[in-house]
Homo-oligomer: A and B are copies of this chain.
Amino acid sequence: MALLRLAIRATDETASMDIPTFEDVLKAHERIAPYIHRTPVMTSSYLNQLTGAEIFFKCENLQKVGAFKARGASNAVFGLSDEEAKRGVATHSSGNHAGALSFAAALRGIDATVVMPHNAPAAKKAAVRSYGGKIIECEPTQAAREATLEQLVAESGADVVHPYDDPRVIAGQATCVLELHQQCEALDAVVAPIGGGGLISGTCLALSTLAPEIRIYAAEPAAADDAYRSFHAGEIVTRDAQQSVADGLKTNLRPRTWHFVSKFVSDVLLASENEILDAMYLTWERMKIIIEPSSAVPLAVMLKNRQLFEGQRVGIIITGGNVDLKHCPGCK
């Protein structure tokens, strides 16, 4: 019954939503290729031993701006006509998307304006400024963010690039698993973190055409489990003011990302805050790469759901490496 309701809802909603296609993913990959890295895939015999699986880590921590967000932002910015581009781009974000949009706009030589709560971490503000982005501060509420952005856009005519609820962004993020699929043959499953669902949606979009036999798991902090609750309720469940050490994953699904999650995700798996930090430091220690807490959720859920992945070839998307080392979360 839940599944049926789900199917009906998805059909209803998608009628009024702009859902990107696989063709959009291929176009995005071609469009952004000059501006992003084709990131390497790494392996670790130690972590293979520990999980009983063969894991392929797609290292988007080594991506431009230190996160996969460079893909979606570049696709949006370089897909604009010259006329549209002139008016610049804008968003509200206090995370990697803010830096990524500023980065892409600078490459195209246009303005990027980012609405940020005045209490956003100094490191995030510095990242935006380092790429030439302009910051407009607002009160730290969702309403203030949206009102400030609206006013800004009314004045400048800037194109709003949402961090995840945007077909251009989803198609851009999809290029990550497109590459992973080219780099690693015969994967059995892919595990990626879920926040607002942009990356998972892109992953579903690409794999449902390329290799529908590959299972897709969304890995989520138990402390910010709106996707888990939505998955089990069969409809979007939102949670206010979610807090997690995985600061990129506190956002809620929206109809456009729920469309993909509800249709193509095999399961949403949860990890506790401590499990996330343990998996993060384990990766630092054993793989010698810096990954941010959000990126550690997939390994954390693999470690606690060994039976799901044992003996299989599993792709993990390491989403980013932007950790403020001065305020290292739970640093031991």
Contacts and interface: CB of A to CB of B under 8 A. Distances in A.
Interface-central residue, A42, A61, A323, A332, by most chain B CB under 10 Å = A332
Interface string A303-331: 00000000000000000010101101001
A288 B325 contact: no
B62 A285 contact: no
Given A284-B325, A289-B289, A325-B332, 4 more contacts: A66-B288, A284-B290, A288-B291, A290-B290
A281 interface: yes
A197 to B, nearest CB: 24
Interface of A: 40, 42, 61-62, 66, 281, 284-285, 288-291, 321, 323, 325-326, 328, 331-332
A290 B321 CA distance: 11
B321 A332 contact: no
B288 A62 contact: yes
A110 to B, nearest CB: 21
A284 B285 CA distance: 12
Contacts of A331: 325, 328, 331
A305 to B, nearest CB: 25
A200 B40 CA distance: 29
